[in-house]
Amino acid sequence: MESTPLPETLRRLDALIQQEGLARSEFLDARRLAVRTALPEDVVDTLLRGGQPPAEAVNERVRSRIKALADDRLARTGQRMSDLAGAISRQLGVSAFWARQVCAGDKVPSVELLHGLVDFFGVEGGEAFFTASADEALDRELRSLLAARSTPEGRAVVSSASPGRDDVRGLALRQARDLPQKRWNVLNATLKALLELDDQEVDR
């Protein structure tokens, strides 16, 4: 089996964490990464420790990751499965029964419908989000974190000790990493000013 870039990505992240004096859990928290990648938490933990995940067929990956996304959506929103299945049914033009089976991990969607689920759940990476191997999926997410911290142009990213703040800032910077240099500077300066303003309010 051909190796993936994950070990090198982890090495780069460890070097960045040490260089910036950050908490390793800020980037390498298995629970948070499991949600982001729709992978089982124990699999993420194994990969972060340098281990190998259990072998699985592509169809198993697709079923389990759609189910993970559906379970997370239901937990966060308080929706019922019938509500989620109905929303998928309307957006993708399929039966609510089919949508319920897919969300429960009992049915594998076609390539065309898998593309629709990419849009519905708003995942990055297209259909590969569902079909990539576990190490490839985790590597993609960790590379996104690296890109948010340091771009090829060497752009500095605002640092914060608050995990809650970092979740929001990291998402914004991942989405904005392809901005022109001038716009990046404006975004970075705005985020920094907002954090400093909030710190001043707390100190009062």
Residue 137 lies in a domain: no
Residues 77, 109: one domain?
yes
Q: Output phi, psi for 46, to 5 deg.
A: -60, -45
Q: Domain tally for the chain?
A: 2
Q: Given 131, 160, 180, which residue is the final one in a domain?
A: 131
**Res 16: pLDDT:** 85
Residue 1 lies in a domain: no
Q: Which residues contact 140 (CB under 8 A, 6 or more apart)?
A: 37, 124, 125, 128, 132
Kindly report the average pLDDT of the chain as a whole number. Answer: 81
What is the residue range of 188's domain?
150-204
Residue 142 lies in a domain: no
pTM passes above 0.85: no
pLDDT in tens, 101-111: 999 999 999 99
Residue 15 lies in a domain: no
Domain of 111, CATH number, reads 1.10.260
Residue 26 burial (CB count, 10 A):
18
pLDDT in tens, 137-164: 999 999 988 887 754 443 434 333 334 4
Residue 168 lies in a domain: yes
Residue 197 lies in a domain: yes
Instruction: Kindly state the greatest CA–CA separation across the chain.
Output: 58
Residue 81 lies in a domain: yes
